[in-house]
Amino acid sequence: MEDMKPQETQSSGLSRRELLKVLAAGSSALAAAAFLPGKWIRPVVSSGVLPAHAQASNEPPVIFSLDVDPIFGRQAHPNGADYIASFSYTDPLSAVSNAALLYASVDGCGQIINGSSIASQAGNVSDPQSGSAYFYFNACPFNGNAAMHLRMKVTGRMSNEIKTFLPPPPS
């Protein structure tokens, strides 16, 4: 019987594993070369510069004052409004416009403005970044101290809520 010894083979220097690695790397390089242009061209880069306060910012607008005055007995408002509200704001993205949405409620009355634009409330905005705005509204009859709560939504960002007390209507 012959001895069952493994036969010695002559190695070419590369194992099968190393050969597969070399083939994979070579085919990847060929595939990448297929996507390169025939002649080198200068890359076109277009860029813009954002203002420093707007870079990587998604901060909401901030309302920092709210005043409400009755307009009973004064010049009648075309919409029949009883009150005028004015507020001051700042917006890091300078996006406040007459299209900004208002959400206002009055204690005892509930929601009086639910996502209406400033313009639809016969109001106006002074500046897109930092300024003041006003709008007209009606409130239900109330006794005593009723508070008005106001928020503003600008480009999907909701402001803080601010509150002030309504002056009572004239008796």
**pTM higher than 0.85:** no
d(CA 62, CA 79): 28
Task: Give the least confident one: 1-15, 81-95, 126-140.
Answer: 1-15
Q: What is the mean pLDDT of residues 95-109?
A: 90
From residue 167, give the alpha-carbon distance in Å to each of 64, 68, 73, 111, 155. 19, 7, 14, 18, 32
> What are the residue ranges spanned by the domains of the chain?
60-165
Task: For the domain made up of 60-165, give the CATH fold.
Answer: Immunoglobulin-like (2.60.40)
Burial class (CB in 10 A: 0-12, 13-18, 19+), 155: middle
